[in-house]
Amino acid sequence: MPIINRIADFHDDMTAWRRDFHEHPEIGFAEHRTSALVADRLRAFGVDEVVTGFAKTGVVGVLHGRARGDAIGLRADMAALPIQEETGLPYATKTPATMHACGHDGHTTMLLGAARYLAETRNFAGTVYVIFQPAEENGGGGQVMVDEGLFEKFPMRMVFGMHNWPILPEGVFAWRHGPVMAACSAFDITVIGKGGHAAQPHTAVDPIVVAAHIVTGLQTIVARNIEPAETGVVTIGSIQGGHAHNVIPESVRMTGTTRWFSPAVGDLLEAGVRRVATGIAESFGARAEIDYRRTYIATVNDPDATDLAAAAARTVAGEARVVPMLKPTMGAEDFSFMLAAKQGSYIMLGGGRGPGDAMVHHPKYDFNDAILPVGASYWATLAEQLLPAS
């Protein structure tokens, strides 16, 4: 059975919803319009109970099947990114410097499509919770939902997540047992020197030269401190210091991230960033202030739940279009907090490379509407297979 016919029937509706979300993106924990629309649509579909204001802007829809039974959760994320869109599309963002550049507009729409079908057909026994999570991009909304009692208020056997992936061909699913996305940190380093005249460097402590050495030094942590067979990343994502060509500034600020899977590597990366930044700054007579925050834990799939997810994907896409994901990605995802608390799995759905070959988080990226019924059919099939009506 390929895409569910009834879901294919409302492909046009889903495309319109998706483009409307795209035009009105909202940053994490501020998804007010998005979450109100989600709740309104769920009510209009006849979803049995719609809980709003969960983890600020989160929404949970409760769908009961035609008989009693088990319960599962299906999760989509709703947040946009602080990126200036450059797609030039007719439905491009109307909000400056805010963009659905990760396809969460599509994720929200696919789960809405599944909810509409499930509410209409009820071809399952038990309960399906459709979870619309806020603030995946940096806000850790997944953790807030767990902390606010997601699994106590909505008891479920398993929970599932999905992300579109442009580098996978359109409509191809990729599954993976165990780690699928990395743990991550965000850190700020402020190098404090002594400002002065650019022509009198001996009277100053130049924080720009110190920062340059720190950037280079940080790259030795992965190369020289982490066991080569292990995986880790240290990236400096921004550096700001000074305003004029003839002034040595007082300080330089850098921001960055580290990524890892093994807890031991996570500890080494944090210790390394602190040691290298502090030590280099001191050796130049400057000082480094470091604010290092571990943000997301690694996303680790349960093998049994993953096999069930892959089986549902095969039903929708066919054997040949469901493939193992050979390597995890060093991206990070706060569905990790749900998977740490509950058995479940996170699957990738290919979107194809699209115009401009833009990956997620690129200003020219756009979600591929062709996969809306594929993703919605996957959710619906997963619910029907895990909670069989007879």
Q: What's the min distance (Å) between Cβ of 165 and Zn ion?
A: 10
CA 99 to CA 106: how far, in whole Å? 13
Residues that contact Zn ion, how many (by CB under 5 A): 1
Q: Residue 77 Cβ, how far from Zn ion at the closest point, in Å?
A: 6
**Both tokens of residue 368?**
């591929």
Which is nearer to Zn ion, 164 or 251 (by Cβ)? 164
Rg value, the chain, Cα: 23
d(C-alpha 16, C-alpha 21), whole Å: 9
Q: How far is the CB of 43 from Zn ion (least distance, A)?
A: 26
Task: State which residue, 17 or 117, has the beta carbon closest to Zn ion.
Answer: 17
Q: Considering beta carbons, is residue 313 or 349 the nearer one to Zn ion?
A: 349
Residue 91 tokens, joined: 């439905």
Residue nearest to Zn ion (CB): 102
Q: Which residue blocks in 298-369 are alpha helix, DSSP H?
A: 303-317, 335-341
Which residue lies nearer to Zn ion by CB, 130 or 214? 130
Q: Tell me whether residue 102 or residue 382 sits nearer to Zn ion (CB atom).
A: 102
| Closer CB to Zn ion, 349 or 386, in the complex | 349
Q: Residue 301 in contact with residue 158, Cβ under 8 Å?
A: no
**CA-to-CA dists, residue 202 to 127, 337, 383, angstroms:** 72, 51, 70
Task: Show contacts with Zn ion in window 264-293 (CB under 5 A).
Answer: none
Rounded least distance, CB 348 to Zn ion, Å: 11
> What tokens appear for 42 in the block?
């769920």
Residues 70-129 that bind Zn ion (CB under 5 A): 102
Task: State which residue, 286 or 338, has the beta carbon closest to Zn ion.
Answer: 338
Using DSSP, state whether 314 is helix, strand or coil: helix
Q: Report the residue number, 102 or 144, with the smaller CB distance to Zn ion.
A: 102
Q: Least separation, in Å, of the C-beta of 361 and Zn ion? A: 6
| Nearest-approach distance from CB 92 to Zn ion, in angstroms | 18
Least Å from the CB of residue 205 to Zn ion: 39
Of 102 and 265, which CB lies nearer to Zn ion in the complex structure?
Answer: 102
Are residues 194 and 201 in contact, defined by beta-carbon separation less than 8 angstroms? no
Q: If binding is defined by CB under 5 A, does position 349 make contact with Zn ion?
A: no
Of the candidates 131, 11, 147, which has an alpha carbon nearest to the alpha carbon of residue 76?
Answer: 131
21 Cβ neighbours under 8 A, 6+ residues apart:
34, 37, 100, 105, 108, 109
Binders in 153-172 for Zn ion, by CB under 5 A: none
Token pair recorded at residue 233: 């990343």
Residue 151 Cβ, how far from Zn ion at the closest point, in Å?
22
Please state, in angstroms and rounded to a whole number, the distance separating the CA atoms of residues 102 and 238.
21
Answer whether 194's CB lies under 8 Å from 204's CB.
Answer: yes
**Least distance to Zn ion, CB of residue 163, Å:** 6
- Taking the C-alpha atoms of residue 219 and residue 235, their distance in angstroms, rounded to an integer, is 8
How far, in Å, are 17, 112, 140, 191, 372 from residue 107 at the CA level?
11, 9, 17, 41, 8
Q: Interface residues with Zn ion (CB under 5 A)?
A: 102
